[in-house]
């Protein structure tokens, strides 16, 4: 995947000069832990990926033990079940600056109003806005798909399977988070 020079410069700028807030406590998701209690999913807006991600996240909306929120561009909202919509935070192109960074204070405040245990980026391709958002948020567990810059964005990288089904990858994410 080729990343344009402008985006690479912006990402490196953010990585080098981003503010480091207080480190949050570790989240124990192993045998002795209960899994994560609050999750922020970054959803794809492209139809081909959104349909699979929509199927994956619809299983979690009736879980009363976890607080789950979603972030997606408003163009991708139509691909997700109506039951998710109360927990979906949408943004549009007017909420971005000229570099593609999310700058809407109301949206950022809504996202930051909850202290998340985990962030899961379900985008298969690089989404500049959501990648920059991932850099800005201080969340202990960040999971995303492998890309040229994923080691800077996520604490756990999921390698895309070339032979298997994408659903198996999502099941791996569920097991990592203690959702199953």
74 DSSP assignment: G
Predicted confidence band of residue 118 (pLDDT cuts 50, 70, 90): very high
Which range among 8-17, 125-134, 153-162 has the greatest average pLDDT? 125-134
Strand bridging mode 67-73 / 38-42: parallel
**Burial environment of residue 108 by CB neighbours within 10 A (0 to 12, 13 to 18, 19 or more):** middle
Tell which wins on pLDDT, 126 or 107: 107
Which range among 4-8, 58-62, 64-68, 115-119 has the greatest average pLDDT? 115-119
E-strand ranges in the chain read: 38-42, 67-73, 88-91, 118-121, 141-145, 156-158
Rg (the chain; Cα; Å): 16
Counting residues of the chain whose pLDDT is more than 70, the rounded percentage is 79
pTM for this structure?
Answer: 0.82
Closest CA to 125 of 14, 60, 42: 42
Tell which wins on pLDDT, 81 or 24: 81
């Amino acid at each position: 995947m080729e990343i344009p020079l402008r985006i690479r410069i912006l990402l490196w700028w953010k990585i080098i000069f981003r503010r480091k807030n207080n480190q949050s406590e570790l989240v124990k998701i192993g045998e002795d832990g209960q899994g994560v209690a609050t999750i922020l999913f970054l959803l794809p807006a492209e139809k081909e990926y959104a349909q699979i991600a929509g199927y994956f996240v619809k299983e979690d909306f009736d879980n009363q033990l976890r607080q789950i929120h979603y972030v997606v561009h408003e163009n991708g909202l139509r691909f997700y079940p109506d039951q998710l919509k109360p927990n979906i935070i949408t943004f549009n192109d007017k909420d971005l600056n000229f570099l593609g960074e999310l700058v809407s204070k109301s949206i950022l405040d809504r996202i930051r109003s909850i202290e998340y245990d985990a962030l899961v980026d379900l985008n298969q391709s690089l989404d500049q806005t959501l990648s920059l958002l991932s850099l800005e948020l201080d969340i202990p567990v960040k999971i995303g798909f492998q890309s040229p810059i994923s080691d800077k964005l996520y604490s756990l990288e999921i390698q895309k399977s070339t032979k298997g089904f994408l659903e198996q990858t999502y099941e791996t994410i569920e097991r990592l988070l203690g959702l199953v």
